[in-house]
A and B are shown apart, each in its own frame.
Chain A
């Protein structure tokens, strides 16, 4: 057995293999204590899957990693999140700079009511890039990366709503990739899609891995098994167990993990 579980008490801070770490993170929505003492490190260029029953705090945890939780009024967080060893909550500076480095894809595809081109270009423009040539190049480049170029290259000026659901979600991935993030947070990116579109998204994740650090929330155990290197199991706001995906699925250390994976609850 190859136990690669990171000991939660001492995350290897200086390790070049680690991209993001969360240390003793607690999170509240008003009085609702949604995350309890979560410590987890996520490997550089790796795919980390977050699994667990509904309401256990996976999305909440994900939003702690790009400070999207701050946009929800009445919330509070304690603990530390580090990106490349830098605390993203204290002394990091501009939050929009953080979000260009840590991108996010949502459960329901949410393209803007704009053209396909403008959707991808949006992140560049709001971050001050005006040069048309740079933008045009970046849009093409990104759409190719998202395996969408061939399908949309003749209709870049069409509304994004013309695309199918699966295409819209890949457009949203392209939109997130356009600002060249280092980390990509994906909250159930394929849960609203048909099997073929889901496969395309999974292929895309496999392709992006290596160049991007990906953290993906999924309810689909097979999907977690297929796409991820590391899996973390959440339960009632706690991170119960994390480890190499094969280990979590074949030899979980915790009874609750095993029960969840084998489908006894959740």
Chain B
């Protein structure tokens, strides 16, 4: 153990390749003889494939093969990894998500694929795809979740005429919540839409399937967040090929934000067709295709009510939500509105009674699944919008109202964790402190004075608060198993000490921007007391790494890092035996520090490198001990981790035009212990931008035919550099009491807290000028804000 690297803003080791153009993303890979795939996709949200004519396309020089759904009759669809049953016990409805829509069946969203053209070049594949003649019978479509429940709504799957995937209720019995609300002196009621957004990782999805006949072995290069999971799903559920005959590599991946967790049909198709053709097959999505086929996020329509007594204490929370699943159930989709959302509705407050009633529906849109925060942003949006609105309605100060209702501090060691009304037990928290710090940074009293002045002008000011808690470090396998997960959510790590004392670390986590190659190495180097240069991290290859569940849910360090620590503990334990033998002392007489074992109270010591060499040249060696110094571990967390924080937005609203300018974004986050502050800040910044993006800029627009009308970067507005201020961040540290690093996870926090803070700020600005809207639909465009004032 040493203390050189943990807690330091070490510059990232992975940067060199990216800043010099040497990053290696999937689309950068060229294999000998590689062919190119292009998909023929439905231009309609709902349409029957009457016939497909391939003749002309097949005749085009350079076209190697064209497959349709009819060629894939015995290939399964892509599976769903989480089962949430109806409240009455009926099993979740799982329509098949086929690779390609066969003739006679219906495409269920724009972009649903009917054929794949494989050709010598990408251009030929694209040209030939134009010549594939599909005769479509267009059918009526439904895109909005609430519309899907109307009695005459078009049916997405004939066999499920009510369009429900499942319904679900959670928390305290509704009668108890109703009774609590009866007693309320004030009920704040809010109907709102948490709109559908598109993750938009900058690297479009890309896959290369390659089959090697000599070894009867497949390789799939994929822009994924979890190579092993893709291998498991593809082998066991889709293609039925033996797992040990498949290598899945996730090379450099250009962002994920959730959208690259899932197993997509195109992954299986390039793999399958590479064997049919005996040549590698590459497919790279273009951006328009990405809008139509990447899983989207959010998409809830909600009615929420929060009841308060006359003093402002929260008495109850009652929620009805309809959540959109899209046309098919994507890998983790059912978990997002349920166990990643309903379980967070306690927030930071002592609310005694909570009930959520959730209906998850199919629509003629691409699947919705986890997007940065996955369920927790929706829960936070709901709670924090209610809190600020309640304060406005009751004439209370929004910060005061929160202080009054906060769960008191608990460290999870001396004081027990906090048992919520919605199943989870928070590990440790100190909520007042982050809000206090946020108010200090804001200079709250001064701000209110400034606001009062501004209210007299055309540029009014508003402040919005959001204090959030989330659940990361996903997740204890037994717990998620009991909630419907069809996978364990542990992580694996192998630490291999080479004879010269150099160390290779293999992790099942996967970096697509998070900086694992630096952070994880900081941990290893410190725990072993050796230089960072002596340690390398390997990730993203199912052939070199034993197993992995990948990176999402802010789990890499909390779960993957903990697995590494477990392996290091085993290394040091075995190393101690070797050291004791060499130093001719009892193991208990040794202490390990700064890269060597020392006999306590003496200067007799042996270095880590000498012990490593001894392990591989075991001439003078403890009897019965195996040679080698190489350990694998699996870490299954004891609980989720619960980061929390306070986000505060200050906006200026132009009364004439409704234009919102974000003036300040303050974020005080507590993500537990921090290994690399620079990287954690970067994660917070990126999350903030996406959260602000949802509040002010982003959102899909579907027309009545289920067409996505803003499916390009020209039309889908994302935050650009000149839309955002410099962020003001600070940190508090309440360690996680149940993992060895005390870390909680920082990947999603920014996106979870910021959205309601920004919307609250705009509402606050309008109230300061005498307008009293309860809600403005996100994204808060100038037009919508102007309308709220006129």
Partners in one complex: no
| Residues of A participating in the B interface, judged by any CB pair closer than 8 Å | none
